[in-house]
Amino acid sequence: MVKKNQTLGEFIIENQAEFAYSSGELSRLINSIRLAAKVVNHEVNKAGLVDITGAAGETNVQGEDQQKLDVYANEKFIQTLTNREIVCGIASEESEDFITIAGQNNDHKNKYVVLMDPLDGSSNIDVNVSVGTIFSIYRRVSPIGTPVQLEDFLQPGHKQVAAGYIVYGTSTMLVYTTGHGVNGFTLNPALGSWYLSHPDMKFPETGNIYSVNEGNYVHFPRGVKNYIKYCQEEKEDRPYTSRYIGSLVSDFHRNMIKGGIYFYPTSSKAPHGKLRLLYECNPMAFIAEQAGGRASDGFNRILDIEPKELHQRVPFFCGSKNMVIKAEEFMAKDPE
């Protein structure tokens, strides 16, 4: 039974039986993520006061300028997850290869891998716009007692055992699923505790918000252009409202609460799409489906895509079920 204002710790303990491999492991893993999130949140909230904003002078594996907070968040999440005896490997959007964690006794007995985007939307930090962290958890497939392998990370999204995000905004929220619905917890900064504020979160079946970078309109496939025109038509419940923050976590979070669709399609500038399958699309798709929404690449279910590489990019359509279905109909008519 969901009780509003439960702490995250109480909620995890009460719902531990829903986790397929119940032995306190999920509790320790989510605890390490919530701890790292509190540390990163502290830095995000003082970003205008100290030298933590701006570019770090390096680029990540994606060829993108790393922001100082990107690097800081990446280090803090890796450090916190490594110190808990549960994770055998970590893959980050900020790192070229995965990290192997042998464990205290160097026995490689830990069972889970975590994939993450440590600070999504970090280019917004300098202008005080919400950013977030996205995480995805899988049970390893390689034999326990051996070092983690690439195959442990290249699993289709439907094999996730948990996924979630933290949004650092006017309030800080942790939203996650273990495959039994979606629940949101808000950080009380005075007490340092997370409280259940948004139980059993659901996408409305339809909405009136569409979120896309329309500056790329000329580069989009014909099907996407036609869907945008559909959203802008004066008919019945349209035109829809255009809302695009440029932070996937923030756009997704708003659309889940209010009803809407987020899409980042292929384009002549990004022929494979821009968002990463493993660090962004799979965890958000898992959350969306658990909240009654839908997520696809415009043609196929995101969670059924077989990953080929760690930093694979895919087009992404995600949000209220009926809106995503409608977008897919336009893509089917004009895929090029």
Its sign, for the CA torsion 9, 14, 17, 23, is positive
Binding residue numbers: 93, 117, 119-123, 213, 244, 274, 280
| pLDDT band at residue 53 under the 50/70/90 scheme | very low
What is the C-alpha to C-alpha distance for residues 178 and 199, in angstroms, rounded to an integer? Answer: 14
Higher per-residue pLDDT: 325 or 55: 325
> What is the pLDDT, as a whole number, of residue 23?
62
Residue 124 has pLDDT above 90, yes or no: no
Mean pLDDT to the nearest integer, 313-333 = 98
pLDDT tens-digit readout, 63-78 = 555 557 888 899 999 9
pLDDT tens-digit readout, 224-257 = 999 999 999 999 899 999 999 999 999 999 999 9
> What is the pLDDT, as a whole number, of residue 58?
52
If one counts every other C-beta atom within 10 angstroms of the C-beta of residue 249, the result is 26
Identify the three-state secondary structure at position 305: coil
> What is the pLDDT, as a whole number, of residue 72?
87
pLDDT tens-digit readout, 258-296 = 999 999 999 999 999 999 999 999 999 999 999 999 999
pLDDT tens-digit readout, 168-190 = 988 999 999 999 999 999 999 89
| pLDDT band at residue 198 under the 50/70/90 scheme | very high
How many Å separate Cα 333 from the centre of its chain?
29
Amino acid at 129: V
| % of the chain beyond a pLDDT of 90 | 70
Residue 123 has pLDDT above 70, yes or no: yes
Binding residue numbers for Mg(2+): 93, 117, 119-120, 280
Residue 238's alpha-carbon distances to 229, 234, 241, 287, 323, in angstroms, are 11, 5, 8, 27, 12
Binding residue numbers for substrate: 120-123, 213, 244, 274
> What is the pLDDT, as a whole number, of residue 290?
98
> What is the pLDDT, as a whole number, of residue 14?
84
> What is the pLDDT, as a whole number, of residue 52?
44
Mean pLDDT to the nearest integer, 302-330 = 98
| pLDDT band at residue 59 under the 50/70/90 scheme | low
Residue 1 has pLDDT above 60, yes or no: no
Residue 45 has pLDDT above 90, yes or no: no
Query: Is the whole model's pTM more than 0.75, yes or no?
Result: yes
